[in-house]
Structure 1
Amino acid sequence: MDLPAEELQFLTIPDIFQESISIPKRSPKTFYLITLTLVFPLSFAILAHSLFTHPIITQLQQNPNSSHASQWTKLIVFQFFYLLFLFAFSLLSTAAVVFTVASIYTAKPVSFSSTLAAIPSVFKRLFITFIWVSLSMLAYNTVFLIFLVLLIVAADTQNVVLFLFSFLVVFILFLVVHVYFSALWHLASVVSVLEPIYGIGAMKKSYHLLKGKTGMAFFFVFGYLSICGVINGFFGSVVVHGGESYGVISRILIGGFLVGVLVIVNLVGLLMQSVFYYVCKSYHHQGIDKTALYDHLGGYLGEYVPLKSSVQMENLEGGPLTP
């Protein structure tokens, strides 16, 4: 991030990763508190979710013919509050990390209290963007289900090889679109925080920013989803379904370790999506005006006084101060 804006476009995947993991060192206390209060609860909820739903699902499966109205009610209520918690802390974590990274980038004084003060305004913008992305995802999921039904109806199920090949093609297309929309969402979230647009406008801006960097975005998102999938799978097989194969202490230790790993993965993922935004802006030769960004971030805190002093401008850009 210390590079000139026009050189950020040349950052490779390892460069972006190295830059991302170095950012917390510039404000360790702030990132420690963000991780503890936002990223950790999010990561813990993702993994612990199966611990609470597994007993209910097991009971439903053991007696499929019995009436389980109370169990179904518990499951539905739990799922509702889980998704509410998941989306809320996902947006809160995104808002906090993106705002803090941008503050560091513009040399704006950063603290955990200033980040918390900015979150309410940022959260509203992120939520509107999230609604638009969710509607888009709902649309392509509906299209996928329609294609899947048509495949089952039209395909020759007697030819197992042809049917499996057709299903694999549809699944790969779905996976590619899902990963692309996830990349679009992550980048649109950063746009919603750092630019005066959100919602469908942020999605359009994200779409244009991804051009030329789609492969890199696909690698990041697919890699993140794959790592999270492995962590979730390992947690489920050992901690949730381990049973007598693992002792209670072993399951607690392994579970705690996996939560810690997921916390790191989520934090680094949020940092990388922030850095990736600047890389995309640089690639498309869109000037990154630190002064305008500085003022924009100050708007979340009620600071609307523009920086007109040449001394302030030089200090912001890292130039020497003259007496």
Structure 2
Amino acid sequence: MDLPPDELQFLSATDILKESISIPKQSPRTFYLITLTLIFPLSFAILAHSLFTHPLITQIQDPYGSHTSQWTKLLIFQFCYLIFLFIFSLLSTAAVVFTVASLYTSKPVSFSSTLSAIPLVFKRLFVTFLWVGLVMVVYNVVFLGFVVLLIIAIDTQNVVLFFFSLIVVFVLFLIVHVYITALWHLASVVSVVEPVYGFAAMRKSFEILKGRARMASVLVFGYFVICGAINGLFGAIVVHGGEYDYGVFSRIVVGGFLVGVLVIVNLVGFLVQSVFYYVCKSYHHQGIDKNALYDHLGGYLGEYVPLKSSIQMEDLE
């Protein structure tokens, strides 16, 4: 982030990771508290979720007896889990993006100031998330429609052709899913550092993502793969470890280690989305008025509420 704005566009995916990892050194106490109070609970919930659902699912799969109470418990737990995941994900995003933007403008950073800004930032992120959620719903409905049409149109007797078609549709689904995820993360940063949110933030992120969509896809897909591997190991060793003669102590140690790894991965992920925003702005030769951004961030703290905030300067070309 110390590079001149016009040089950020030349950062590779590896450079962005290195830059992101170095950011917490500028305010270690603030990032330590953000990690401990927000990112750790989020990461722990993601992994521990299967520990609680596995016994319920096992009971439901039992062919004997009534499973009404188990289904009720599972649905209630899933609902509470999704709400918890949603809240802490937005809170973590708000805290990290605001802190990184403050460091970028040389604004004094502290955990207390970040907490003070979170309520207003959270509202903007929530509206943006609703729009992203709507896009996700439409996109999943369209995908389901394609699958149904595929089953109707393709000769299911030809197993090779049928499975090849399913793979093609799945790959397309994955590509679009990764792109929308990248769009969402970038729109989240836009919602915090610019005076727009919701659909306007999505439209802005769509514009500045042009030319950097491939890099965004690599970063998002890499994050998905790492998280998938961590979840897979946690499920195999911690959740189902008893079936493979893993001791309780070994499972606790491995579980704690994997939670720690996921905490680091999530922290770096939140930092990467912030840095990537500045890279995209630089790629499109859009400077950022640090004074205007400084005032904009101050508005979250009640220091100054600008009548009109112009975060983006004229093109640097």
TM-score by length of 2: 0.95
- Give secondary structure in 2 for the equivalent of 1:62: coil
**Aligned equivalent of 1:28:** 28
Whole-angstrom distance in 2 between the partners of 1:6 and 1:296: 22
Q: AA paired with 2:201?
A: A
Flag structure 1 segments of 5+ consecutive residues without an equivalent.
307-323
Residues 130 and 305 of structure 1, relative CA distance in 2, 3 Å threshold? closer
Per-residue deviation, 1:119:
0.1
**Aligned equivalent of 2:249:** 249
Whole-angstrom distance in 1 between the partners of 2:292 and 2:5: 14
Whole-angstrom distance in 2 between the partners of 1:256 and 1:104: 31
8 Å CA contact 2:296–2:305 kept in 1: the answer is no
Deviation sequence 1:217-276 (CA, Å, 0-9, x none) = 000000000100000011001100111420000000000000000000000000011000
Whole-angstrom distance in 1 between the partners of 2:266 and 2:277: 17
Superposition pairs of residues 67-146 of structure 1, within 5 angstroms: 67-146=66-145
Whole-angstrom distance in 2 between the partners of 1:74 and 1:189: 33
Whole-angstrom distance in 2 between the partners of 1:31 and 1:290: 22
Per-residue deviation, 1:305:
7.2
**Aligned equivalent of 1:181:** 180
Whole-angstrom distance in 1 between the partners of 2:236 and 2:15: 34
Q: Which moved more, 1:39-48 or 1:10-19?
A: 10-19
Per-residue deviation, 1:7:
1.1
- Give secondary structure in 1 for the equivalent of 2:107: coil
Deviation sequence 1:2-45 (CA, Å, 0-9, x none) = 11111111111111111100000000000000000000000000
**Aligned equivalent of 1:318:** none
Query: Percentage identity across aligned positions?
Result: 77
**Aligned equivalent of 1:282:** 282
8 Å CA contact 2:8–2:283 kept in 1: the answer is yes
Runs of 4+ more than 2 Å apart: none
CA-atom RMSD, angstroms?
0.9
- Give secondary structure in 2 for the equivalent of 1:287: strand
Deviation sequence 1:291-311 (CA, Å, 0-9, x none) = 0110000000001177xxxxx
**Aligned equivalent of 1:273:** 273
Q: AA paired with 1:252?
A: I
TM-score by length of 1: 0.93
Aligned residues between the structures: 305
**Aligned equivalent of 1:313:** none
Per-residue deviation, 1:67:
2.2
